Each structure stands twice: as C-alpha cells, then as structure tokens.
Amino acid sequence: MDETTEATHDIDIRNLYKIFGPNAAAHIDNVKAGMTKEELNAKHNHVLGLENINLTIPAGRIQVVMGLSGSGKSTLIRHINRLIDPTSGEVVFDKQDVVKMSPTELREFRRSKTAMVFQKFALFPHRTVLENTVYGLKIRGVSDKECQERARRWISRVGLEGFEDNYPNQLSGGMQQRVGLARALTNDPEILLMDEAFSALDPLIRTDMQSVLLGLQAELRKTIVFITHDLDEALRLGDKIAILRDGRIIQQGTGEQIVLRPADDYISSFVHDVKRGNVITVRTITRKGQRADTPITLPYDTLLEEAARAMTNAEVNRANVTGTDGTHLGMITLSKTVAEMIAPDTSDDDTADVMTA
C-alpha cells in the first residue's frame, strides 16, 4: 500500500455566519437577533449566505453537504479553506482557527492540508495529464523526480495509466475528473474538498466515479467534504450528511437516520422516492433478543436489500443478526425486511433500541 497521510483531525465549524454585502459586519448582530434573510435583503440590500452553521466533520470520513441550488452548500465548503471569509464564526482544524490564520499560515494550510476537486474539472488545457497532476507539487518546491513518481502513481491509481501525455480536450468528462482527483491526491492532503465534483458527468460515468472515490477512501481514510444536490449520491457516499436550506442546516446525521426520521416536510419530500433497501440496515427491524433457527447470520449493518437477497437465495424467511463483535443481537424476518423496503413502519417500539447497537 502506498504511503499516504490518513486524516486524524476533525473539522469543527462553529457559529458560522456569512453575509454578502459591503457592510456585512454592521448587520451580523441583527441577524443573530433573528432578522430573516428576506428582511436583511429588503431593508439593507445584503444577502444572508450562511446562518449559524455548527458542524463537526469527522476525520477520515466522507461528510456530504447537500441542498438545492442557492442553499449555501458551495459557500460553506469554501469557508473550510477560506476561499471565502466568514462574517462571524470559527473553522477549527488541529487546534487552529482557519479564520484567524495569517496569510503565510493560510497559504501553507491550503498547500499542504487541503485539496479541491471542482465540478468543471479546472484543468489547465495547455498542460498534459502528467503536467496537470504535478502542478500542486511543483508550486510546493518538490523535486522533479518525486513529482514524476507520485503523479504517475496516482494517475495509475485512478485508471489513467497510458494517458500521461494526453491533453484535457483529448479526454472524456469522466477521464478529466479522474485527472482532477489524481491531482488532488498527489498532494496527499488530509482534507479533500469536492464541490459538485461529479455533477457534470453522465449518470453511468458518475456512478463509476463514485465507486472510484469509495474504493480509494476505503484505503486512504481522508477527510472528504462532498457537495451535491443529489440525494442518491449523498446517500451512497456520505458517512454523515448535512442538509442545507436557505443557508441553514435543517438536519444532519447518517443517511439511514435522515431517511427514517426526516426532520420536516421539506426533507420528507427529498427522501420520499429513495430506494430504502439501499440505505436502511437490518438493525432497524431487528427483533431484539430473539433467535431464529436459520443458516443465515447477518451483521447488523447489512442493508435491507442484501438481507432480502440472502434469505431468498437460501430459501429461508428468517436471519439472525450480530453486532460488531459478533455477539447475537436478535433476528429479522423476510416479510418485515421487504415491508420496510417498500414503506415505513413505525409500529415496533424495539427499533430505537437497536439503532445504537
């Protein structure tokens, strides 16, 4: 396995506000006191971009931030590497507030700790794949030999070996985004910021790139902040998901928690057509403490669709469920598994007990 830096520090975003306008600081107290986005715009011609964002992004995990256009998600991600300065608040990484970093500290933070992958690829059209990939290392003063070695290794890892001398306009959209990913990973950042990185790709290529990212992340354990407006993408990629609306976080948690317990009607409309079998796990329907006479035993984090397939293939209608350490938690039935894939069922009181298993 290649030597890479695994992320070890959470990112703590605390009480973050962003007001766009020439006199933003003068209005922050009014916003904190309850002035709405509409009032701020109508009375002062300023725009409230982010309102009281509090979010802990766990080290080595994929944090998805999702919302519709204008929700503030791209504004939020640009506060992490301070491409945008907040009106108020903190972004803490490794005991340092990024907001208070000096220009020199910020430059070093951006170069050595973070990398960004954009929706529109942001490749240099006049540079080859290899030249694009080594760019970040070059500006850090890394030797030509090491630049070449690291870049070629990551170009190969993202599936572009043999394309080192091609130019971006000779590549498909998916291949161009692989170059963007290789360029980011070549710098070996702890934090990978991905702003709608796959949104411009065709559906099949997009799914393929999601698989590439998940495969790399299983090994690298970077802290990835992934912006998307697509719920299916959020649910597939996110260890944690935060949903923004009008600059505010209206719900955060795992995909399973959001699908099972949407915070309001807005989120309910988001999750209404979700393929629940690909999100919800068997722990939510486990009959705690019960045991079945069955050859099928499943880990508690098995997805419902996988569980239904396992029981169907074995021609049984029950399966036992085990915890992370292999201890017996309970059992599930095929009928309950299929029913939960189709529609929510809150009739059982024992599901909440198993959610924390």
Q: Is the separation of the CB atoms in 86 and 74 below 8 Å?
A: no
Q: Pairing state of beta strands 62-66 and 114-118? A: unpaired
- Average pLDDT of the segment spanning 327-353: 75
What is the rounded CA–CA span in Å between residue 43 and residue 183?
A: 45
Structure token pair of residue 89 = 């608040």
Residue-range domains of the chain with CATH: 11-113+189-271 (3.40.50.300), 277-355 (3.10.580.10)
Q: Is the pLDDT at 304 greater than 80, yes or no?
A: yes
Q: Which residue's entry shows tokens 């490749």?
A: 123
pLDDT at residue 351 in the model:
44
Which residues are paired to 91 by β-bridges?
A: 13
What is the rounded CA–CA span in Å between residue 152 and residue 125?
A: 19
How many other CB atoms are there within 10 angstroms of residue 74's CB atom? 19
Which candidate, 237, 353, 221, places its Cα nearest to that of 284?
353
What is the rounded CA–CA span in Å between residue 236 and residue 35?
A: 36
| Amino acid identity for residue 242 in this structure | A
Identify the residue with better confidence: 342 or 211.
211
pLDDT digits (tens, 9 = 90+) for 64-102: 999 988 899 999 999 999 999 999 999 999 999 999 999
Q: Any idea what the Cα angle at residue 274 is, between residues 273 and 278, rounded to 5°?
A: 150
pLDDT at residue 8 in the model:
87
Structure token pair of residue 293 = 């006479």
Please report which confidence band the pLDDT of residue 63 belongs to, taking 50, 70 and 90 as the band edges: very high
Please report which confidence band the pLDDT of residue 140 belongs to, taking 50, 70 and 90 as the band edges: confident
Q: What is the pTM of this model?
A: 0.88
pLDDT at residue 90 in the model:
97
What is the rounded CA–CA span in Å between residue 236 and residue 331?
A: 26
Which candidate, 349, 275, 273, 331, places its Cα nearest to that of 305?
275
